[in-house]
Structure 1
């Protein structure tokens, strides 16, 4: 299904569009011709929208644990704040979808697939109608093999079961609800971390190629800085559901910010994603809501975005303070949008999922020989030198298959659209999808339904830099981004051209 949607014949397009335009008349004539009773046709007017939300704890039950988000192995001895899988289930009377965001750096597809299967068996929701993602906090339990971080194998089945339990519980709490959305904005907390430097400034890479033209995370306010190598996306889409009496049920926000950090190395934390949920809940006075109100922040397209103001720098903050400041500021912006929402009694739900196969950048024989020599000269033990770390990554990538399969999804919630990517997607991709989508608004949730590393655009690949350096965190072919972007836009076009599932006679 990768590129077939746009290749529909002109006649099929005309038929689809005619059906959308005259679908009610067509169905009425068909019902009359076969003698369907009038009350059967009128049943569609008694539509009830329902929603349920749960934040289920996924904090490990025992410590110490391997902690993600570092090039070297790191061990956490405690959790500063709880980790959650925040689950939202929506139902329009015929179609159910589940949205899940987990306080994790990245989660492999196998864990999500296992969780979805268990949840589907318990709820009847189809697995291809579940979108599960990671927030990308860099201080969660390590569940994916990246650099020298060791996977906490004992945690994996626990995580899958908890995600499934969260979806199941949210489904059990479905109640008549109203839904709405609005767009917030906060340009103060997002900065492109890839920078052009002044001519003559050396830019090194771990492969000694000398071809990089940008530096990632340079020194802030340095005289060597010239200009950012890309844009930012300050939008904060906000999707919310409330009970018929106005009680808030859940709110799903989206922001293209990598993470904040400032967490001691021996602690787990949900980073600003978890603090955002707590702050927003207080702002709308929903701390005593029953069932508990669930706020969630999903990660947009932040592969090249972080919270460092490279233009001016910023004061050093004590642990967790920058997280609190950012979460409070972004939650306040989300609140402005939330207060602007016009809730609707019913909207149709439609979802599409497809699988595509993309290329993998594997090392050649010379690159493998260089990596082996570097590691042999260094001897055994953990590696702190960047060249040696990437030498290890080179040998790991040599064992990768030549192609990789991934899931892509698109969701239509009334006039709102959401697409998903299993990558650390660059902001340029998200902005292009927003501009090109037939739905306004549209936003992207990254690190969804699996983990396939960074997704630079071909133009950013040509500039080099950390996100392009071949590793378990960056291995997709240069043309992967156009394939993924085109497929997501195809799915959106398909949703736009087709009759919503909930209005089709079955």
Structure 2
């Protein structure tokens, strides 16, 4: 078995719009952490798999296809054997929405592909092993039942009207240890479910995965690549409503990255890396999913919101107001047209006893937990925001009934999550049956 890993700096020029908080202008003024595209290429027998993870909030299908094509052209790895995902950092490169961003995207796509091309060139005899840990102090379900029976997203720290959380978290920390033939560390793949939305401001940052990488490099050396795959965290973030951590003392991204980095290192040290070849396999399925039909109370909310905010100058709106106005406009536009649909890819890759499931968009944690519980593999990584799915929430049916922030979108039909879970499990069982 041969494995190569590489990381390529993709930090954009200053002055570009940083996405993640709606339409409010948010031009990059500095760099907290450099942004990267990271890649791992695995060869076993006659099969090659490539995994690329990009420090970006989301990626569109055409960009994903161009990245895969460049990797194929330079390495011969078939496009369907290349998995492309996002860390979902909210302080990363722009979306391709204006002239400056569109001019930058060919460079972003080429460098993202180059990470895999470089990893391909660095392949060497390697050992691999999987382990799991647990961490429940940095992730919180952000949806809450309030005492009046409603559900709110992020209702505020120490809000006396909070009753209880709506759902679970996924505390599992999955770790893939990768060593060379001499037992020296080459890289670590890690997987955890919590939003990369801990920084805000106008400086580029890889968020807490950047600090996981710092911790790993401090422990094992600067050449060791830390490749983080984002778990199912559509309704999970870092905000503890009990207020037990003061980010003014230690910023969230630093605290979370250090805690997770140490747990990842602890698991790595207890995990044996085997030298024998691992069976590699990959399969994918494109599914046509329609947009969601709006309910009458949602249309009424949009009309009421625009009546309140529509006449206010854009520069007087808060970020929250600007986001609500934009959502209201999108809702009313959607209400007047037939439901559109598009194809989304669900992909699964197997590396011996490890499976990696690539899912579209921002997946609620319940779906990730279901896939893990029913997977035939000993270890299952959920790798969301994959395959050029763009952004948007894939919610549980109950969430649409209860409201809150996440169900405000119209991109995914209410049954989308169940369809993605079904497809993922069918692919996993198909791969497992080949072994």
State the TM-score, normalized to the length of structure 1.
Answer: 0.79
Aligned mates of 1:376, 1:335 — CA distance in 2:
49
Q: In 2 relative to 1, CA 242–294 (structure 1 residues): closer, same or farther, beyond 3 Å?
A: same
* Contact 2:306-2:329 within 8 A present in 1 as well: no
Which residue does the alignment assign to 2:51? 99
Deviations 1:19-45 (A, max 9, x none): xxxxxxxxxxxxxxxxxxxxxxxxxxx
Could you list the runs of 5+ residues in structure 2 that have no partner in the other structure? none
* Contact 1:359-1:404 within 8 A present in 2 as well: yes
Q: In 2 relative to 1, CA 270–400 (structure 1 residues): closer, same or farther, beyond 3 Å?
A: farther
Select 1:463's aligned residue among 402, 423, 435: 402
The alignment partner of 1:378 has SS state of coil
Aligned mates of 2:412, 2:304 — CA distance in 1:
20
Aligned mates of 2:108, 2:338 — CA distance in 1:
25
Aligned mates of 1:153, 1:380 — CA distance in 2:
27
Aligned mates of 2:401, 2:369 — CA distance in 1:
20
Which residue does the alignment assign to 1:63? 14
Are residue 378 (structure 1) and residue 329 (structure 2) matched?
Answer: no
Q: In 2 relative to 1, CA 222–268 (structure 1 residues): closer, same or farther, beyond 3 Å?
A: same
Select 1:254's aligned residue among 182, 187, 191: 191
Aligned mates of 1:309, 1:260 — CA distance in 2:
13
Look at both structures and tell me which one has the larger radius of gyration over its CA atoms.
1
Which residue does the alignment assign to 1:172? 121
The alignment partner of 1:344 has SS state of coil
* Contact 1:349-1:412 within 8 A present in 2 as well: yes
Aligned mates of 2:143, 2:265 — CA distance in 1:
30
Deviation at 1:260, TM superposition (A): 4.5
RMSD: 2.4
Are residue 430 (structure 1) and residue 361 (structure 2) matched?
Answer: no
Aligned mates of 1:67, 1:73 — CA distance in 2:
8
Which residue does the alignment assign to 1:125? 77
Deviation at 1:141, TM superposition (A): 1.4
Aligned mates of 1:336, 1:376 — CA distance in 2:
51
Deviations 1:408-435 (A, max 9, x none): 1011110111101121111111111111
Deviations 1:20-71 (A, max 9, x none): xxxxxxxxxxxxxxxxxxxxxxxxxxxxx000000101011x3211101112
Deviation at 1:380, TM superposition (A): 6.6
Deviation at 1:393, TM superposition (A): 2.2
Aligned mates of 2:365, 2:306 — CA distance in 1:
37
Q: In 2 relative to 1, CA 166–375 (structure 1 residues): closer, same or farther, beyond 3 Å?
A: farther
Aligned mates of 1:234, 1:353 — CA distance in 2:
27
Aligned mates of 1:162, 1:226 — CA distance in 2:
47
Q: In 2 relative to 1, CA 373–170 (structure 1 residues): closer, same or farther, beyond 3 Å?
A: closer
* Contact 1:301-1:430 within 8 A present in 2 as well: yes
Aligned mates of 2:105, 2:337 — CA distance in 1:
23
Aligned mates of 2:90, 2:274 — CA distance in 1:
37
Deviation at 1:266, TM superposition (A): 2.1
Are residue 74 (structure 1) and residue 26 (structure 2) matched?
Answer: yes
Deviations 1:463-491 (A, max 9, x none): 21100002xxx520101011011000000
* Contact 1:103-1:274 within 8 A present in 2 as well: no
Aligned mates of 1:111, 1:78 — CA distance in 2:
25
Aligned mates of 1:434, 1:73 — CA distance in 2:
39
1:280-299 residue pairs with structure 2 within 5 A? 280-283=216-219, 285-287=220-222, 292-299=223-230
Aligned mates of 2:87, 2:197 — CA distance in 1:
12
Deviation at 1:395, TM superposition (A): 5.0
Deviation at 1:246, TM superposition (A): 1.4
Are residue 221 (structure 1) and residue 170 (structure 2) matched?
Answer: no
What is the aligned length? 425
1:489-504 residue pairs with structure 2 within 5 A? 489-499=425-435
Deviation at 1:241, TM superposition (A): 1.5
Aligned mates of 2:162, 2:121 — CA distance in 1:
54
Aligned mates of 2:247, 2:208 — CA distance in 1:
17
1:73-222 residue pairs with structure 2 within 5 A? 73-143=25-95, 152-199=101-148, 213-222=150-159
Deviation at 1:78, TM superposition (A): 2.1
Aligned mates of 2:337, 2:119 — CA distance in 1:
40
Could you list the runs of 5+ residues in structure 1 that have no partner in the other structure? 1-48, 201-212, 500-506
Deviation at 1:396, TM superposition (A): 5.5
The alignment partner of 1:152 has SS state of helix
The alignment partner of 2:101 has SS state of coil
State the TM-score, normalized to the length of structure 2.
Answer: 0.91
The alignment partner of 2:169 has SS state of coil
* Contact 1:371-1:395 within 8 A present in 2 as well: no
